[in-house]
Chain A
């Protein structure tokens, strides 16, 4: 039997009594004193699939609607409760500080991509230079240009969106065709204003394609920052 961890919540164990996890397994609580880990028992670790990911996400959304919650990385499984109990004791101060940060907030994701890259025509940011096939110099110039484009775009996003967020995380050039991905921790009642600001930015950043998804549980603000 393995324990699948969903997250750490600020609540009493009794608050999870009717909770349901993956494969309709009942949720159980580890810990106490206002800080509990949400787990369910399984015969095998979860299999990575779209269904499993969305089910996991829905479990977290349901629990997040009830109490402050730090989501755990998908696939966190343990043979027994000891490592979780140890973390709750040893990292209590850090965990409580993160819970204070995320309470009443949701995560919104923003992704900036080049439309031309999606169609195979290369990036067309201000500093990008289309690479000639087989040309090393052109390739390097294109990379430098993309990096400059990503840096300038990140600065624009920071100046326009950070004021609406409690916290933000940025990754530049995370994968081909994507200049910047960003995560924002936004007050629940500030989501509409944030979405409106992203929509307004879209018109100013053509030919970039800005997408915004959410609200998500605060995955990007539950652990160490991974800024890029």
Chain B
């Protein structure tokens, strides 16, 4: 493996791209959704720069249905 296998999210370095992308995938596109509001304001420019396509796709998925 060229990447470390099975890092605990709590201990992982937030800057690690793979772990961060996995985090984004889960928190912004997963989880139970209760009919109501998903309200996000993006303030971390590094996060947006890291994977803009993912972020846009995830926010689109997170929009209230």
Contact = CB atoms under 8 A, between A and B. Distances in A.
Interface of A: 2, 5, 7-8, 45-51, 53-54, 56-58, 61, 70-79, 83-84, 87, 95, 98, 107-109, 111, 115, 175-176, 181, 183, 191, 195, 198-199, 202, 209-217, 219-220, 222-223, 226
Contacts of A77: 36-39
B9 A57 contact: yes
Nearest to A211: B3
B34 A87 contact: yes
5 contacts: A7-B32, A71-B26, A83-B34, A115-B2, A195-B5
B54 to A, nearest CB: 6
Given A49-B44, A175-B53, A195-B5, A222 B30 contact: yes
Interface residues of B, number: 46
Contacts of A46: 40
A9 B38 CA distance: 20
B5 A199 contact: yes
Contacts, number: 166
A108 B37 CA distance: 28
Contact of B8 (A98, A211, A215, A223): A215
Contacts of A2: 39
Interface of B: 1-3, 5-10, 12, 14, 18-44, 46-47, 51, 53-54, 57, 61-62
A49 B37 contact: no
Given A48-B43, A53-B24, A73 B31 contact: yes
B33 A191 contact: no
B27 A56 contact: yes
B39 A111 contact: no
By Cβ-Cβ distance, the 5 closest A-B pairs, closest first, are A219-B30, A49-B44, A73-B31, A219-B26, A74-B27
B3 A5 contact: no
A183 B41 CA distance: 27
